[in-house]
A = this chain, B = another copy of it.
């Protein structure tokens, strides 16, 4: 199959660029005390996770949902899985307990409710589930307050049957996207100080804290370079997006949304078949790749309206490529991505963990 034959809209991966990205990240952590735990949520695609793991310097995979972890196990990508998120709600803890029968499962916990729920499910299934205490390092989302509250929860984990305290985590999501390194670096260091202080207290209390997990693509070399951090949960580096491309990090744009121009109703505009059902705009409008002065004006469900210089030669039927602002939710809209080398489609990769895979298993 040729790229020109791909039905649009579609996701396209530049395999050579992705391979370089994956290798660069693996090389950065090679032989160090910190490793990478690639975040599966970014692409949900087993073919990419396999390449990340094969490149080395990896501690298994990170997942955001139980459904993703189930796909990781089903596809036998790794038996070392961290769900870097609270597992709370109907049937979820039982599903994690089921996974723990064959995988080394670790789950983030930030509340007694979440801990007790997990412990009950583990006890019922006769397994032990690893727990990382999730410490709030500044992102207003999940995570128990650092210091004494984190220590208190760690003690409770250690005292609870069915769960095993494996370490701590903290995601500096409020920092990973700061473009200027001079601002990003001190803020990441400060956020990680909260996590590392909680780790210190926990170890001083005689509790185990083997894993200290944090970071993302924007802070991989800051957080990942700090003494005491054992792994970095980066995901976007393999494919990249326009938000991360603004940072001074050595990863290439390896991913785009391929579209077809449907209409050029006036000289200064065209509409292509890649709207926000094909390419999300939660981090801003996508960029048009390789077309000078072409700017996405807005996305509707199935259209990108693009402003053009009036002398542009773009015509109905032409292909265009959009660089998304955020790969994670964009990939989540599609069922496959096309792996491309030059003009050839060399493979079609299922996005096996797209959406909530349990909805497809009834």
Name A's B-contacting residues (CB within 8 A): 4-10, 41, 64-65, 85-86, 88-92, 110-111, 113-114, 117, 136, 140-145, 173, 260-265, 269, 271, 273, 276-278, 280-282, 297, 299-303, 305, 315-317, 328-329, 332-336, 348, 355-356, 358-360, 362
Instruction: Please give 7 more A-B residue pairs, beta carbons under 8 A apart, in addition to A4-B90, A85-B262, A88-B263.
Output: A7-B358, A88-B273, A89-B262, A89-B317, A278-B356, A301-B328, A348-B362
Can you identify 17 A-B contacts, CB atoms within 8 angstroms? A5-B91, A7-B358, A64-B302, A86-B263, A88-B261, A89-B273, A114-B262, A114-B263, A140-B269, A140-B297, A142-B265, A142-B303, A145-B265, A276-B282, A277-B355, A278-B356, A336-B362
Report the minimum CB–CB distance from A150 to chain B (whole Å): 11
Q: How far is the CA of A4 from the CA of B91 in the complex (A)?
A: 11
Beyond A110-B263, A297-B140, whether A88 also contacts B317 by CB under 8 A is yes
How many copies of the polypeptide does the oligomer hold?
A: 2
Q: How far is the CA of A359 from the CA of B336 in the complex (A)?
A: 6
Q: How far is the CA of A328 from the CA of B273 in the complex (A)?
A: 16
The answer to whether B142 touches A262 (Cβ under 8 A) is yes
Report the minimum CB–CB distance from A218 to chain B (whole Å): 14
- Nearest residue (CB) in B for A113 is B316
The answer to whether B302 touches A65 (Cβ under 8 A) is yes
The answer to whether A90 touches B5 (Cβ under 8 A) is yes
The answer to whether B88 touches A260 (Cβ under 8 A) is yes
Report chain B residues within 8 Å CB of A4.
90
The answer to whether B111 touches A264 (Cβ under 8 A) is yes
The answer to whether A140 touches B315 (Cβ under 8 A) is no
In the A-B complex, the 8 residue pairs with the closest CB atoms: A89-B260, A142-B263, A86-B262, A335-B359, A113-B316, A64-B302, A111-B316, A336-B359
Report chain B residues within 8 Å CB of A173.
300
Q: How far is the CA of A281 from the CA of B92 in the complex (A)?
A: 26
